[in-house]
Amino acid sequence: MSFIAKRIILKELRQLGQPRIPVKVIPHEECESTRFQVQRYKMKFLFASSSNDLFSKLHRQSRLHNVTLNGPLLGCFLLAIHHCFPLKDKTRLEPFEVGIPFNMRSRLSRSPLTPLSVGCFIGAGEFKLKRALSIQSTHFWSLAYQCMTITRDQLKQSRLPLAMNIFADVLANQHEFSRIAQLFPEGRQSEIAFSNVGKYPFPCEYNHGEVRLSGIHVINSVSGYRNSSGVYATCTDNGQLDFAMAHEMESNEIAKHFLDYYLYLIEICADSERCKTETTLGELLQMVEFQ
Protein backbone atom coordinates (compact mmCIF):
# COMPACT_ATOMS: atom_id res chain seq x y z
CA MET A 1 0.00 0.00 0.00
CA SER A 2 2.77 2.45 0.90
CA PHE A 3 4.47 1.75 -2.46
CA ILE A 4 1.29 2.64 -4.35
CA ALA A 5 0.87 5.76 -2.22
CA LYS A 6 4.41 6.87 -3.05
CA ARG A 7 3.77 6.43 -6.78
CA ILE A 8 0.59 8.53 -6.56
CA ILE A 9 2.34 11.28 -4.56
CA LEU A 10 5.33 11.38 -6.92
CA LYS A 11 2.93 11.82 -9.84
CA GLU A 12 1.32 14.73 -7.98
CA LEU A 13 4.69 16.32 -7.23
CA ARG A 14 5.63 16.36 -10.91
CA GLN A 15 2.60 18.58 -11.52
CA LEU A 16 3.54 21.15 -8.88
CA GLY A 17 6.27 22.91 -10.85
CA GLN A 18 3.92 25.27 -12.66
CA PRO A 19 0.60 25.53 -10.79
CA ARG A 20 -2.26 27.02 -12.82
CA ILE A 21 -2.91 29.59 -10.07
CA PRO A 22 0.40 31.21 -9.03
CA VAL A 23 1.33 30.75 -5.36
CA LYS A 24 3.99 32.12 -3.04
CA VAL A 25 5.05 29.62 -0.38
CA ILE A 26 5.76 31.27 3.00
CA PRO A 27 7.26 29.03 5.73
CA HIS A 28 5.48 29.12 9.08
CA GLU A 29 8.32 29.41 11.62
CA GLU A 30 6.30 30.13 14.78
CA CYS A 31 4.22 27.02 15.29
CA GLU A 32 3.97 24.21 17.79
CA SER A 33 5.91 21.03 17.16
CA THR A 34 4.13 18.01 15.72
CA ARG A 35 4.92 14.32 15.62
CA PHE A 36 5.98 14.70 11.97
CA GLN A 37 9.37 16.31 11.30
CA VAL A 38 8.26 18.52 8.43
CA GLN A 39 8.06 22.27 7.83
CA ARG A 40 4.60 23.83 7.95
CA TYR A 41 3.52 26.75 5.77
CA LYS A 42 1.31 29.77 6.20
CA MET A 43 -2.14 29.65 4.73
CA LYS A 44 -4.47 32.61 4.19
CA PHE A 45 -8.26 32.43 4.15
CA LEU A 46 -11.04 34.51 2.63
CA PHE A 47 -14.79 34.23 3.20
CA ALA A 48 -17.85 35.45 1.32
CA SER A 49 -21.60 34.86 1.31
CA SER A 50 -24.16 35.24 -1.46
CA SER A 51 -27.66 36.69 -1.46
CA ASN A 52 -30.31 34.61 0.32
CA ASP A 53 -32.01 33.47 -2.88
CA LEU A 54 -28.93 32.41 -4.86
CA PHE A 55 -29.17 28.71 -4.05
CA SER A 56 -32.82 28.43 -5.11
CA LYS A 57 -32.21 30.43 -8.30
CA LEU A 58 -29.15 28.39 -9.24
CA HIS A 59 -31.00 25.17 -8.47
CA ARG A 60 -33.88 26.15 -10.79
CA GLN A 61 -31.44 27.08 -13.55
CA SER A 62 -29.60 23.78 -13.14
CA ARG A 63 -32.81 21.73 -13.32
CA LEU A 64 -33.89 23.68 -16.39
CA HIS A 65 -30.64 22.78 -18.16
CA ASN A 66 -30.49 19.17 -16.86
CA VAL A 67 -27.32 19.56 -14.82
CA THR A 68 -26.42 19.21 -11.15
CA LEU A 69 -25.22 22.19 -9.13
CA ASN A 70 -21.66 20.97 -9.64
CA GLY A 71 -21.95 21.94 -13.33
CA PRO A 72 -22.38 25.72 -13.07
CA LEU A 73 -20.27 26.02 -9.90
CA LEU A 74 -17.33 24.28 -11.53
CA GLY A 75 -17.89 25.99 -14.89
CA CYS A 76 -17.77 29.43 -13.23
CA PHE A 77 -14.64 28.36 -11.34
CA LEU A 78 -12.85 27.51 -14.60
CA LEU A 79 -13.91 30.82 -16.15
CA ALA A 80 -12.74 32.78 -13.10
CA ILE A 81 -9.29 31.19 -13.37
CA HIS A 82 -9.24 31.83 -17.13
CA HIS A 83 -10.00 35.54 -16.57
CA CYS A 84 -7.92 36.28 -13.45
CA PHE A 85 -4.86 34.24 -14.42
CA PRO A 86 -4.87 34.46 -18.24
CA LEU A 87 -2.71 32.42 -20.57
CA LYS A 88 -1.36 33.72 -23.89
CA ASP A 89 -4.45 32.64 -25.85
CA LYS A 90 -7.41 34.36 -24.19
CA THR A 91 -9.84 33.18 -26.88
CA ARG A 92 -9.88 29.57 -25.66
CA LEU A 93 -10.57 27.92 -22.33
CA GLU A 94 -7.62 25.55 -22.09
CA PRO A 95 -7.82 22.26 -20.14
CA PHE A 96 -6.06 22.20 -16.78
CA GLU A 97 -6.40 19.98 -13.74
CA VAL A 98 -8.61 20.88 -10.79
CA GLY A 99 -8.73 18.75 -7.67
CA ILE A 100 -12.27 17.85 -6.53
CA PRO A 101 -13.08 16.36 -3.10
CA PHE A 102 -15.83 13.74 -2.92
CA ASN A 103 -17.77 12.71 0.16
CA MET A 104 -17.13 8.96 0.11
CA ARG A 105 -19.25 8.01 3.13
CA SER A 106 -22.04 6.61 0.95
CA ARG A 107 -19.93 5.77 -2.11
CA LEU A 108 -17.76 2.89 -0.91
CA SER A 109 -19.13 -0.56 -1.68
CA ARG A 110 -19.55 -3.00 1.21
CA SER A 111 -18.67 -0.23 3.64
CA PRO A 112 -20.10 0.23 7.16
CA LEU A 113 -19.91 4.01 6.73
CA THR A 114 -23.03 6.15 6.96
CA PRO A 115 -23.63 9.82 6.03
CA LEU A 116 -22.94 10.64 9.71
CA SER A 117 -19.59 8.82 9.96
CA VAL A 118 -16.79 10.98 11.36
CA GLY A 119 -13.23 10.79 10.04
CA CYS A 120 -11.15 11.01 6.86
CA PHE A 121 -13.64 9.79 4.29
CA ILE A 122 -13.04 12.37 1.57
CA GLY A 123 -11.68 11.14 -1.74
CA ALA A 124 -9.73 13.54 -3.97
CA GLY A 125 -10.35 13.29 -7.71
CA GLU A 126 -9.01 15.24 -10.67
CA PHE A 127 -11.11 17.20 -13.14
CA LYS A 128 -9.84 18.24 -16.58
CA LEU A 129 -11.68 19.27 -19.73
CA LYS A 130 -11.15 16.88 -22.62
CA ARG A 131 -10.29 19.67 -25.05
CA ALA A 132 -9.94 23.45 -25.33
CA LEU A 133 -13.21 25.37 -25.75
CA SER A 134 -13.84 28.54 -27.72
CA ILE A 135 -14.75 31.46 -25.46
CA GLN A 136 -16.83 33.11 -28.19
CA SER A 137 -18.86 30.14 -29.46
CA THR A 138 -19.19 27.70 -26.53
CA HIS A 139 -22.47 27.97 -24.62
CA PHE A 140 -22.08 28.26 -20.86
CA TRP A 141 -24.62 25.54 -20.11
CA SER A 142 -22.75 23.24 -22.48
CA LEU A 143 -19.64 23.81 -20.35
CA ALA A 144 -21.70 23.16 -17.20
CA TYR A 145 -22.94 19.86 -18.67
CA GLN A 146 -19.37 18.80 -19.50
CA CYS A 147 -18.31 19.66 -15.95
CA MET A 148 -21.08 17.46 -14.57
CA THR A 149 -20.36 14.45 -16.77
CA ILE A 150 -16.58 14.54 -16.32
CA THR A 151 -17.03 14.78 -12.55
CA ARG A 152 -19.45 11.83 -12.57
CA ASP A 153 -16.96 9.78 -14.56
CA GLN A 154 -14.47 10.22 -11.72
CA LEU A 155 -16.81 8.35 -9.39
CA LYS A 156 -17.09 5.43 -11.82
CA GLN A 157 -13.36 4.75 -11.62
CA SER A 158 -11.83 2.48 -8.98
CA ARG A 159 -8.87 4.83 -8.44
CA LEU A 160 -10.83 7.25 -6.23
CA PRO A 161 -11.90 4.84 -3.44
CA LEU A 162 -8.59 2.96 -3.72
CA ALA A 163 -6.51 6.10 -3.20
CA MET A 164 -8.70 7.17 -0.26
CA ASN A 165 -8.21 3.86 1.51
CA ILE A 166 -4.47 3.86 0.78
CA PHE A 167 -3.96 7.30 2.30
CA ALA A 168 -6.10 6.35 5.30
CA ASP A 169 -3.80 3.35 5.92
CA VAL A 170 -0.70 5.54 5.56
CA LEU A 171 -2.03 8.12 8.01
CA ALA A 172 -2.59 5.42 10.60
CA ASN A 173 1.10 4.42 10.46
CA GLN A 174 3.41 7.11 11.85
CA HIS A 175 6.57 5.53 10.42
CA GLU A 176 5.17 5.17 6.91
CA PHE A 177 3.71 8.68 6.90
CA SER A 178 7.02 10.17 8.06
CA ARG A 179 8.79 8.41 5.16
CA ILE A 180 6.27 9.59 2.58
CA ALA A 181 6.26 13.15 3.97
CA GLN A 182 9.93 13.43 3.04
CA LEU A 183 8.93 13.29 -0.64
CA PHE A 184 7.32 16.70 -0.40
CA PRO A 185 9.31 19.72 -1.66
CA GLU A 186 10.77 21.86 1.12
CA GLY A 187 9.40 19.44 3.70
CA ARG A 188 5.80 20.38 2.99
CA GLN A 189 3.37 18.55 5.26
CA SER A 190 0.49 16.66 3.75
CA GLU A 191 -3.04 17.40 4.97
CA ILE A 192 -4.56 14.22 3.61
CA ALA A 193 -7.20 13.53 6.24
CA PHE A 194 -9.61 16.34 5.29
CA SER A 195 -11.20 15.88 8.75
CA ASN A 196 -14.99 16.05 8.46
CA VAL A 197 -15.36 18.04 5.24
CA GLY A 198 -18.63 17.04 3.60
CA LYS A 199 -20.53 16.44 6.82
CA TYR A 200 -21.93 18.95 9.30
CA PRO A 201 -22.74 16.98 12.48
CA PHE A 202 -25.49 19.21 13.90
CA PRO A 203 -29.00 20.14 12.73
CA CYS A 204 -29.61 23.62 11.35
CA GLU A 205 -32.04 24.32 14.22
CA TYR A 206 -31.14 24.07 17.91
CA ASN A 207 -33.46 24.02 20.93
CA HIS A 208 -36.61 23.73 18.83
CA GLY A 209 -35.64 26.63 16.57
CA GLU A 210 -34.55 29.12 19.25
CA VAL A 211 -31.06 29.13 17.73
CA ARG A 212 -30.93 28.83 13.98
CA LEU A 213 -27.91 28.24 11.74
CA SER A 214 -28.08 30.62 8.78
CA GLY A 215 -24.67 29.99 7.23
CA ILE A 216 -21.52 27.93 7.54
CA HIS A 217 -18.01 28.29 6.11
CA VAL A 218 -15.81 25.23 5.64
CA ILE A 219 -12.05 25.71 5.70
CA ASN A 220 -9.38 23.18 4.86
CA SER A 221 -5.67 23.57 4.24
CA VAL A 222 -5.93 21.50 1.09
CA SER A 223 -3.03 23.32 -0.57
CA GLY A 224 -0.81 21.90 2.15
CA TYR A 225 -1.12 18.71 0.11
CA ARG A 226 -1.11 20.27 -3.31
CA ASN A 227 0.22 23.68 -4.34
CA SER A 228 -3.02 25.39 -5.25
CA SER A 229 -5.94 27.34 -3.90
CA GLY A 230 -8.90 25.59 -2.33
CA VAL A 231 -12.49 26.85 -2.53
CA TYR A 232 -15.45 25.33 -0.70
CA ALA A 233 -19.10 26.26 -1.27
CA THR A 234 -21.59 25.30 1.44
CA CYS A 235 -25.27 25.91 2.08
CA THR A 236 -27.61 25.62 5.06
CA ASP A 237 -31.38 25.68 4.72
CA ASN A 238 -31.75 29.46 4.36
CA GLY A 239 -30.74 29.54 0.69
CA GLN A 240 -27.49 31.49 0.71
CA LEU A 241 -24.22 30.02 -0.51
CA ASP A 242 -21.19 30.48 1.74
CA PHE A 243 -17.72 30.40 0.21
CA ALA A 244 -14.37 29.84 1.93
CA MET A 245 -11.05 30.06 0.12
CA ALA A 246 -7.64 28.87 1.33
CA HIS A 247 -4.78 30.26 -0.72
CA GLU A 248 -1.07 30.96 -0.95
CA MET A 249 -1.29 33.72 -3.54
CA GLU A 250 1.12 36.62 -3.32
CA SER A 251 -1.45 38.98 -1.81
CA ASN A 252 -4.93 38.91 -0.34
CA GLU A 253 -5.95 41.56 -2.89
CA ILE A 254 -5.28 39.19 -5.79
CA ALA A 255 -7.12 36.39 -4.02
CA LYS A 256 -10.08 38.63 -3.14
CA HIS A 257 -10.40 39.79 -6.75
CA PHE A 258 -10.50 36.16 -7.85
CA LEU A 259 -13.10 35.14 -5.25
CA ASP A 260 -15.28 38.20 -5.98
CA TYR A 261 -15.12 37.51 -9.72
CA TYR A 262 -16.10 33.89 -9.12
CA LEU A 263 -19.15 34.98 -7.11
CA TYR A 264 -20.16 37.52 -9.79
CA LEU A 265 -20.14 34.74 -12.39
CA ILE A 266 -22.31 32.50 -10.22
CA GLU A 267 -24.81 35.30 -9.53
CA ILE A 268 -25.17 35.98 -13.26
CA CYS A 269 -25.51 32.35 -14.35
CA ALA A 270 -28.23 31.90 -11.68
CA ASP A 271 -30.24 34.72 -13.29
CA SER A 272 -32.54 33.14 -15.89
CA GLU A 273 -33.08 36.52 -17.57
CA ARG A 274 -29.37 37.07 -18.18
CA CYS A 275 -27.87 33.59 -18.59
CA LYS A 276 -29.99 31.72 -21.12
CA THR A 277 -29.45 28.45 -22.95
CA GLU A 278 -27.73 30.22 -25.84
CA THR A 279 -25.48 32.46 -23.68
CA THR A 280 -21.82 31.95 -24.59
CA LEU A 281 -18.78 32.02 -22.32
CA GLY A 282 -17.69 35.30 -23.87
CA GLU A 283 -21.06 36.92 -23.24
CA LEU A 284 -21.03 35.76 -19.63
CA LEU A 285 -17.57 37.24 -19.07
CA GLN A 286 -18.70 40.52 -20.62
CA MET A 287 -21.66 40.72 -18.23
CA VAL A 288 -19.27 40.57 -15.27
CA GLU A 289 -17.20 43.41 -16.71
CA PHE A 290 -20.29 45.65 -16.69
CA GLN A 291 -21.31 44.77 -13.10
Domains of the chain: 2-112+120-202+209-289 (3.30.559.30)
Residues contacting 186, CB < 8 A, separation 6+: 25, 27, 39
pTM across the whole model: 0.76
Q: How far is CA 187 from the centre of its chain?
A: 24
Partnered with residue 273 across adjacent β-strands are none
pLDDT per residue as tens digits for the range 256-286 = 999 999 999 999 999 999 999 999 999 999 9
Highest average pLDDT, of 6-15, 52-61, 96-105, comes from: 52-61
Partnered with residue 49 across adjacent β-strands are 242
What pLDDT is recorded for position 37?
Answer: 47
Taking each helix axis as running N to C, give the angle between helix 281-289 and helix 140-156, from 0 to 180 degrees, rounded to the nearest 10.
110
pLDDT per residue as tens digits for the range 169-210 = 666 677 776 776 665 544 444 444 334 454 555 555 666 667
C-alpha–C-alpha distance, residues 199 and 131, integer Å: 34
